[in-house]
Amino acid sequence: MNIITTTPALTAFCKQLAKHDYICVDTEFMRDSSFWSKLCLIQASGPNAEAIIDPLAEGLDMQPFLDLMMDQSIIKVMHAARQDMEIFYAMCGGVPAPLFDTQIGAMALGYGDSVGYMALVKGCLGINLDKGARFTDWAKRPLSSKQLHYALGDVTHLRDFYPAMRQELKDKSRLHWVEEEMEGLLDEELYTYHPENAWKRLKIRNPKQEYLAALKYVAEWREGEAQSRNVPRNRILKDDGLYDIAQNRPATVQALGNLRGVPRGFEKSRAADKLLRGLKEAVANKDTYAPKIAQPKRMPPNLGPTVDMLKTLLRLRSEYNDIAPRLIANSADIEQLAAFGAKADIAALKGWRREAYGEDALAMLSGKIALKLEGREVVASPIS
């Protein structure tokens, strides 16, 4: 097993990988007690080489591998790539591209919603992976032989089934479906944590400006505190505490301490003083500070039967195409489609999804396709 701990070894390995048009990549990291992920291990493979890279090794310069990740001529193959991409975005200062996420590729081939890596390896290669090393302290050194073999398998198995998966997608004219999906994962905003945007991850429970201004501020405050201290958000204050503060907008230490969602004793901390001062200013300037929330369109009444028919059509088209339904549309999309038809601003009416489902859905809404029983099977048929 090739375990890389020196810069010359990493440089030589990267030169090997650079000869090919794709590399398979996975990471092991720790984030249980920190805001930022602590990278502990990188696994990488190409058609004829594989290695484990130890980013914690003293004196190891990761730049040769980062250059490889940013090479636009090499496809980076990952499974459920979101968190790995976040790590490499922070290290590279940009988004590694092009990317192929095998979880999305599997959904486009009918393996189901968000299929896990173990299930995919079982389905593609007939191999049952050992789960024993999944939950381990990857920061601990030395790592055991079992841990290292488990980690390396994440990219050697990936290498074994990726070419066949790509070819199958190509044969079924679905490769462009997956490539369209990759565009979302290449958006830099997905990997940045601007405190002023932290409110967007919370539920809006009150449309009033005072509430919105307070919620935006407390979310921004918590995000800044979590980042600067490098601790999880909930270690600063849980979401329920943010909602309580936004709803009640306490002006005093005593009022803050009386809120159910605020931990006992928090109101006596320096952080609480800063929070109260900022909260007062945000609410005082609510007209300019509160985020502008688009009001949802009023839904027409009695949509239930139409929604049910569109969901049935989605199931039929998904089964026909052997693709996970959720990759095409979710329940909210179906409701929008039922309510607003071709004017609905949903992914199901764009790109490959329109091809796979959207056109038929619109035809059904306009009375050109009907559902009927043939024996005991529901089918969708054109109306002549």
The CATH number of the domain where 78 resides is what? 3.30.420.10
The last residue of one of the domains, among 140, 171, 191, is: 191
**Are 280 and 336 in a shared domain?**
no
**Are 151 and 264 in a shared domain?**
no
Q: What is the C-alpha to C-alpha distance for residues 296 and 306, in angstroms, rounded to an integer?
A: 20
**Are 18 and 147 in a shared domain?**
yes
| pLDDT at site 377 | 86
DSSP β-ladder status, 99-101 and 369-374: unpaired
Q: Chunked in runs of 10, what are the mean pLDDT values of the chain (384 residues)?
A: 97 97 96 93 97 97 98 97 96 96 94 88 89 78 92 95 96 94 94 95 93 97 96 95 96 94 90 94 96 81 92 93 90 94 94 93 94 87 84
- CATH code of the domain in which 215 resides: 1.10.150.80
| pLDDT at site 131 | 67
The last residue of one of the domains, among 191, 224, 242, is: 191
Strand order across the 38-46 sheet: 3-4, 49-53, 38-46, 22-30, 75-78, 99-101
**Are 321 and 265 in a shared domain?**
no
**Are 56 and 162 in a shared domain?**
yes
Asked if residue 356 belongs to a domain, the reply is: yes
Asked if residue 184 belongs to a domain, the reply is: yes
Asked if residue 58 belongs to a domain, the reply is: yes
Asked if residue 299 belongs to a domain, the reply is: no
**Are 9 and 41 in a shared domain?**
yes
Number of Cβ within a 10 Å radius of residue 215: 26
**Are 136 and 39 in a shared domain?**
yes
Asked if residue 224 belongs to a domain, the reply is: yes
Q: Tell me the pTM.
A: 0.87
Asked if residue 231 belongs to a domain, the reply is: yes
**Are 33 and 182 in a shared domain?**
yes
Asked if residue 298 belongs to a domain, the reply is: no
Are 61 and 7 a contacting pair, CB within 8 Å? yes
- The answer for residues whose C-beta is within 8 angstroms of residue 111's C-beta and 6 or more apart is 119, 120, 123, 324
Q: Report residue 168 as tokens.
A: 């199958």
**Are 132 and 119 in a shared domain?**
yes
| pLDDT at site 297 | 73
**Are 316 and 360 in a shared domain?**
yes
CA nearest to 164, candidates 239, 106, 234, 251: 106
| pLDDT at site 136 | 82
Report the residue count for the chain. 384
**Are 138 and 212 in a shared domain?**
no
Domain that holds residue 308: 304-382
Bridge partners of residue 44, in order along the sequence? 25, 51
Asked if residue 296 belongs to a domain, the reply is: no
| pLDDT at site 133 | 62
The last residue of one of the domains, among 191, 209, 244, is: 191
Ramachandran class of 29: left when φ > 0, alpha when ψ lies in -120 to 50, beta otherwise: beta
How many structural domains comprise the chain? 3
| pLDDT at site 219 | 97
Number of Cβ within a 10 Å radius of residue 164: 11
**Are 200 and 171 in a shared domain?**
no
